Structure 1
Amino acid sequence: MADDEQLSIYDEVEIEDMTFDEALQTYHYPCPCGDKFEIALCDLQDGADIAVCPSCSLMIRVIFEVEDLPKAKGMEEA
């Protein structure tokens, strides 16, 4: 996992500890800088697990199971 070694991961966070914004379809978690880490639901469904803070260089790894994620808006009928 050379890619993981190059990333500077601040913490690992269970998805249950994050806040889901249904309107934006994005998960958030408080960052020490005062902003929030964020990762889109569609990115999680595609296998991404790194949430970034838009205000600083910190990143967290999101611990989750794809099958436990909510369906993306507009995908409920599928």
Structure 2
Amino acid sequence: MPLFFVLRDSGGNTAATLGMMAVMLPVFFLGMYEKNGQPMEKLLSYYVQSRFLRPKIRPYKTNNYYAILMKGGMTHDSVLEKDR
């Protein structure tokens, strides 16, 4: 709204209206966008959390039982003791 009054003094009503529409349309489309029932604000917050706020490397370690079987039947306990 303030953009309209700033542009109206220098360019007239038509230029001010077009300038206001050019600024408002992208914001309007972001407000109306939904994906899987979630608004754009939620999607952006999830993106920021996963990209910047949460750690990249997971803090836990998994045991690959398939690799244990392929090594020739080593027992689970001996593999765990080797990792410690």
On whether the aligned pair clears a TM of 0.5, the verdict is no
Q: Name which structure has the greater RCO, CA cutoff 8 Å, separation 6+.
A: 1
TM-score by length of 1: 0.17
Whose strand fraction is larger, Structure 1's or Structure 2's?
1
